[in-house]
Amino acid sequence: MNSFSETLIHSLLSEYDRNLTIEGVNGVRIAKRLGALSEIGLTPDSGSGRMGFSNEETAAKNVLTGWMKAAGLDVREDGAGNVIGKLEGSDMKDRVVMAGSHLDSVPNGGHFDGPLGVLAALEVVDAWKESGYKPRKTYEVIIFSDEEGSRFKSGLTGSTAMTGHTNQEKMRAVNDVFGTPFKEVLEQAGLNEEGLFDSSRDFSNVEAFFEVHIEQGKRLEREGLPVGIVSGIAGPCWLQVGFKGKAGHAGNTPMDDRQDALAAAGDFVRQVYRTPAEVSASAVATVGQLQVYPNGINVIPGEVVMTVDIRDIHKETRDELADRVKELALQTGEQYNTEVSFDEKVRIPPVPVQESVLKIIEEAVESLDIRPVLLPSGAGHDAMMVGRCVPVGMIFVRSLDGVSHHPAEWSSLNDCVLSIHALKRTIELTMERGI
């Protein structure tokens, strides 16, 4: 074991409350498994480098597969590389409850985003094994492929394939960030296009899917709470907006005779920033990518192209915000005498968490003497795709300083273990009562 994994395990265990190792849930086991996974794709900055469909992601899946089999799960891999570990129910074998997450990371990411959710789902099985609990319904632990999207700049590849929503034409044409065609990337991972496109499953016997994930924000930290309950997963709308004016000499063109595309774009960005609050308390909008042409020091910008990331957990207000953003762009373009164009890149439906699921998770959290708090997920997760087919629930874990997608990403072992207890009790309640 290398020095980083030893340090990680020591840091996790140094403040761990051993009283939380009860009912078969073992914090030491979780710490050691997080440490073991941290070795796979470890970056020079002590971050995680496990790109989707990489050797590192495959190696991490192989390690988990070994732990799954040791826990008594029947393990298989589908055509998208998703790993499914099944524990057959005692008397309602045809009914399925699922839990899981992903093992891939962004470049130089953290060690909790994704892996914690997979380990939590597996820890439920190990805890049952040690405590003697026999689930009535079949339980499946899922490891989804390529959630983060750092390979093809569009994530959730495995969960999209499993739910049958893959755009085959688009994926056949895409190259990864290294210029390698999609087909070749899959072949390098021991997969193929047809297998991925044919990997959708029948969800008619699946009652629910649950996912534990770090919050990636500061709300739980501000509330002083170890875990929270996700009220809904925001659906993104990525809108490419272009302002086209006229390039000109920065010195010889009077200010009252300009068609400055960047001036228009800048005013538009300022207005976008304040617009979500006018629509919904959970809506957000971000301009995170912007190109200026011709991008010369002494040239008036003739064209600007940007992407606006618009999100909300409610479809109606998300779509209303998208319409308002378009109207703002048109008004700003007219004010600055520039042409405006739109190209919608993505529009994924938000996934609200249904009331019956929220009540079960709330009961599980309250049983741990934790005040249940609802909070929206602004980020996309595999649960968002699965939520198109079955009810889903998510448990968020407090993130130190809200840091995520960075080597400094951290959640205390106490908080991690409490989230596993909450997940375990949630699944048990679902096994006994249904959704």
Instruction: Go through the chain and tell me how many residues it has.
Output: 435
- All residues at 6 or more sequence positions from 426 whose CB lies less than 8 Å from its CB, including other chains: 210, 360, 361, 364, 393, 395
Tokens of 196: 């991925």
Whole-angstrom distance, CA of residue 77 vs CA of residue 79: 7
Q: Which residue has 């249940």 as its token pair? A: 372
DSSP annotation of 338 reads -
Task: Give the count of alpha carbons within 13 A of 66, CB side only.
Answer: 8
Whole-angstrom distance, CA of residue 121 vs CA of residue 107: 25
Nearest alpha-carbon partner for 163 in 321, 357, 384: 384
Residue 18 CB coordination number (10 Å): 9
DSSP sequence for 126-146: HHHHHHT---SEEEEEEEES-
CB 52 within 8 A of CB 185: no
Distances (CA, A) of 217 to 127, 189, 195, 204, 396: 29, 33, 36, 34, 10
Q: Annotated binding residue at 165?
A: no
Whole-angstrom distance, CA of residue 204 vs CA of residue 136: 18
Burial class (CB in 10 A: 0-12, 13-18, 19+), 40: buried
Tokens of 162: 């499993």
Nearest alpha-carbon partner for 327 in 312, 310, 314: 310
Q: Annotated binding residue at 111?
A: no
What's the count of helices (H) and strands (E) in the chain, helices before strands?
A: 14, 15
Whole-angstrom distance, CA of residue 425 vs CA of residue 368: 10
CB 168 within 8 A of CB 197: yes
Q: Annotated binding residue at 314?
A: no
CB 101 within 8 A of CB 122: no
Pairing of strands 351-352, 303-312: unpaired
Rg (alpha carbons) of the chain, rounded to whole number: 23
Q: Annotated binding residue at 102?
A: yes
Pairing of strands 392-397, 206-214: parallel
Binding residues are 102, 113, 148, 213, 405
Residues annotated as binding site for Zn(2+)?
Answer: 102, 113, 148, 213, 405
